[in-house]
């Protein structure tokens, strides 16, 4: 570098260095359209300032749910299975790998054991960011493993669903998970020392999952009055129906009003509500 270039560097404005902020550091609320910084969401139960919930990653949910943010993950078979050798725009294997990289999870669901206000429970939490929360063979294994663990250790079972339905890349194998999950929960409910089962239908809970797992637990709850809970989506029904569909159709508030949901419990209150329900069902409260 000579004298001239050194002088020019002093005179000419310098290009600002990039702040290197990750692309996913901000999330936009679908309801109020405000931008939320990811660190602020983590501190606030993944809730927007307007109260609307964002999809909450399982491990973040466990931090809010379990005492002292401590839990033990329960392993299950998450090995990749490509029954149909599926390929569309990209292969099924590539899609799975992208989901793993995006979420840090081997599969759509995580099983955890921990204590909620001193009571040990088994919990499943799904991640919608993992292939749209789609249900495949491995998630069937997840539910079966959780039900077996709860049965063997005599634990209450808590489930958080976020799903777009069956995983099309597995065809009929995916659909067969619906009766497998249903039977697993029923066997758990038939145990001699009956333990409670509580399910939160988080937004969205749609397709086959809403017609099976999401409707067979002792309590069926939601997180927010605007949560989407449905079998077929509104756009699908519009194509087959000339009737005017209500504005709040397939929302949690509508389902509660019509008796399909027991209650709507927002995230900051879920730990206490789950604890109370378990205590009541275990007859620990007079």
Domain extent listing, the chain: 56-281
| Residues 72, 114 contacting (CB under 8 angstroms) | yes
**CATH among 3.50.50.60, 3.40.50.2300, 3.90.226.10, 3.40.640.10 for 56-281:** 3.90.226.10
Per-residue tens of pLDDT for the chain, all 286 residues: 566 666 656 666 665 555 566 667 889 998 899 999 999 999 999 999 899 999 999 999 999 999 999 999 999 999 999 999 999 999 999 999 999 999 999 999 999 999 999 999 999 999 999 999 999 999 999 999 999 999 999 999 999 999 999 999 999 999 999 999 999 999 999 988 889 999 999 999 999 999 999 999 999 999 999 999 999 877 777 777 777 788 888 999 999 999 999 999 999 999 999 999 999 988 865 4
Hey, CA dihedral for 171, 177, 178, 179, is it positive or negative? positive
Task: Decide: residue 92, CB within 10 A, 0-12 exposed, 13-18 middle, 19+ buried.
Answer: buried
| Helix spans in the chain (H) | 3-11, 38-43, 58-65, 92-103, 137-153, 172-175, 177-189, 234-240, 252-257, 267-281
Single out the residue of 164, 160, 131, 153 nearest to residue 74, CA to CA. 153
pLDDT of residue 194: 87
Task: Decide: residue 72, CB within 10 A, 0-12 exposed, 13-18 middle, 19+ buried.
Answer: exposed
pLDDT of residue 93: 96
| Helix spans in 104-240 (H) | 137-153, 172-175, 177-189, 234-240
| Strands 219-222 vs 109-116: parallel, antiparallel or unpaired | unpaired
Q: Which residues contact 166 (CB under 8 A, 6 or more apart)?
A: 134, 135, 136, 174, 175, 177, 178, 207, 208
The SS3 assignment for 249 reads coil
Question: In 10 A of CB 251, how many CB atoms?
Answer: 21
pLDDT of residue 286: 45
| Residues 174, 167 contacting (CB under 8 angstroms) | yes
Is 0.85 surpassed by the pTM of this model?
yes
Instruction: Please give the Cα distance from 183 to 148 (Å, whole number).
Output: 11
pLDDT of residue 285: 53
pLDDT of residue 107: 98
Tell me phi and psi for residue 244, to 5 degrees: -80, 120
């Amino acid at each position: 570098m000579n004298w001239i270039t050194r002088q020019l560097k002093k005179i000419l404005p310098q290009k600002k260095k990039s702040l290197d902020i990750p692309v996913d550091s901000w999330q936009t609320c679908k309801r109020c359209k405000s931008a939320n910084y990811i660190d602020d969401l983590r501190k606030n139960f993944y809730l927007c300032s307007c109260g609307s919930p964002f999809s909450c990653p399982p491990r973040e949910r466990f931090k809010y749910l379990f005492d002292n943010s401590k839990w033990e993950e329960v392993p299950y078979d998450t090995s990749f299975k490509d029954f149909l050798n599926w390929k569309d725009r990209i292969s099924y294997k590539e899609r799975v790998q992208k989901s793993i990289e995006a979420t840090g999870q081997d599969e759509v669901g995580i099983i955890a054991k921990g204590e909620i206000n001193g009571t040990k429970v088994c919990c499943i939490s799904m991640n919608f960011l993992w292939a749209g929360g789609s249900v495949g063979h491995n998630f069937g294994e997840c539910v079966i493993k959780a039900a077996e663990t709860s049965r063997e250790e005599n634990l209450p079972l808590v489930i958080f669903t976020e799903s777009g339905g069956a995983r099309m890349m597995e065809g009929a194998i995916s659909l067969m998970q619906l009766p497998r999950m249903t039977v697993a929960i029923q066997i758990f409910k038939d145990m001699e020392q009956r333990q409670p089962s509580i399910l939160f239908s988080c937004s969205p809970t749609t397709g086959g999952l809403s017609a099976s797992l999401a409707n067979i637990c002792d309590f069926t709850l939601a997180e927010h009055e605007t949560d989407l809970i449905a079998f077929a989506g509104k756009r699908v029904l519009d194509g087959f129906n000339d009737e005017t569909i209500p504005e709040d159709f397939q929302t949690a508030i509508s389902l509660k009003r019509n008796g399909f949901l027991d209650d709507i419990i927002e995230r900051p209150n879920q730990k206490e509500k789950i604890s109370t329900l378990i205590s009541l069902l275990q007859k620990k409260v007079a």
